[in-house]
Amino acid sequence: MEYCMIRMNKITKEYGKNESYIRALSEIDFEVNRGEFVAITGSSGSGKTTLLNILGCMDCPTSGSYMINGKETASLSSSEQANVRNQTFGFVMQNYALIDHFSVYKNVELPLKYTKKKVTSKETRISELLKILDIEDKKNQMTASLSGGQKQRVAIARALVNDAEIILADEPTGALDTKNGIQVMEILSGLHQQGKTIIMVTHNPELIGYCSRIVKMEDGKIVSDKLPGQNG
Ligand SMILES: Nc1ncnc2c1ncn2[C@@H]1O[C@H](COP(=O)(O)OP(=O)(O)OP(=O)(O)O)[C@@H](O)[C@H]1O
Ligand SMILES: [Mg+2]
């Protein structure tokens, strides 16, 4: 039986109590099929990062059902959830989330330390990725000394090293200039063409053309879900 890769049903996320109470996500229904490239847009505070964190099992919903490949995530133990997180998802964060005093190679290697997958020739795989992303010559450099565009490419290499099914990217070009931003989008677009599923948060309307679907959020709700270029 073919499952929807990702299926959220009435997902709600609440934070705080009394005056600080906030409903960051409000009964979200959301499905993603294998091979989609989804853009998540919406104003600041609309719940995009919260949704991405729950999708990646980095955070739990307050209520609702979240199934990955037909499995209910709430029924998994915390170590099973950690396995799903490490094996199903690759994360690209807005602020790169690299370890500054590690070399490029060590940063990219990190997810492999937590995986149960058998990785033969780890060094070859990392070198290949660094080559594809055009940072192979930086392999032994500390990431602190790289430019923003180079750091983001290291972060993408790290997201790919596990051969994750789904790439989650939170404003992957947010800190980059136009040229580096386009380069990162070309890389993500290439991955999509190779069949990867990508869910990307972006504020930038110019990047939406790369995606196969555009989801707009407002006040913790999905208010539209359409193809690029489609009105309404
Ligand atoms: N850990 C938390 N504790 C309390 N409130 C939170 C927490 N995380 C997020 N929120 C609140 O939930 C709402 C949604 O936040 P979220 O970070 O998902 O927004 P966003 O759409 O990603 O915004 P931005 O575009 O600015 O990144 C905001 O009102 C935020 O203040
Ligand atoms: Mg955010």
Which structural domain, as residue segments, surrounds residue 34? Answer: 6-226
**Would you state the pLDDT for residue 231?**
67
5 alpha carbon to ligand 2 midpoint, in Å? 23
The ligand minimizing its distance to the Cα of 170 is: 2
The ligand minimizing its distance to the Cα of 221 is: 1
Counting Cβ atoms within 10 Å, is residue 50 exposed (0-12), middle (13-18) or buried (19+)?
buried
Identify residue 178 by its one-letter amino acid code: T
**Hey, how many other C-beta atoms are within 10 angstroms of the C-beta on 41?**
21
Q: Look at residue 231 and tell me if it is in a domain.
A: no
pLDDT at residue 114 greater than cutoff 90:
no
pLDDT digits (tens, 9 = 90+) for 171-180: 988 888 888 8
Q: Look at residue 192 and tell me if it is in a domain.
A: yes
Count of domains forming the chain: 1
Q: For ligand 1, atom 18, name the residue with the nearest CA.
A: 47
pLDDT classification of 136: cutoffs 50, 70, 90: very high
pLDDT at residue 101 greater than cutoff 90:
yes
Q: What is the CATH number of the domain that holds 76?
A: 3.40.50.300
Q: Look at residue 12 and tell me if it is in a domain.
A: yes
Q: Look at residue 175 and tell me if it is in a domain.
A: yes
Segment holding 64, helix H or strand E: strand 63-68
Q: Look at residue 33 and tell me if it is in a domain.
A: yes
Q: Look at residue 143 and tell me if it is in a domain.
A: yes
**Would you state the pLDDT for residue 132?**
87
Q: What angle do CA 119, 3, 222 make, to 5 degrees?
A: 105
Select the more confidently predicted residue: 52 or 163. Answer: 52
Secondary structure (3-state) at 36: coil
d(CA 216, CA 232): 11
**Would you state the pLDDT for residue 176?**
81
Stretch 91-103: mean pLDDT: 89
Q: Look at residue 184 and tell me if it is in a domain.
A: yes
Q: Look at residue 63 and tell me if it is in a domain.
A: yes
pLDDT at residue 119 greater than cutoff 80:
no
| Helices and strands (H, E) in the chain, number of each type | 6, 10
- Cβ of 15 below 6 Å from ligand 1: yes
Task: Out of 22, 58, 171, 221, give the residue to mutate to test ligand 1, the one with the largest number of ligand atoms within 8 Å of its CB.
Answer: 22
Distances (CA, A) of 12 to 59, 79, 133, 222: 12, 23, 37, 12
Quick one: which of 181, 162, 159, 160 has its CA closest to 172?
181
Secondary structure (3-state) at 2: coil
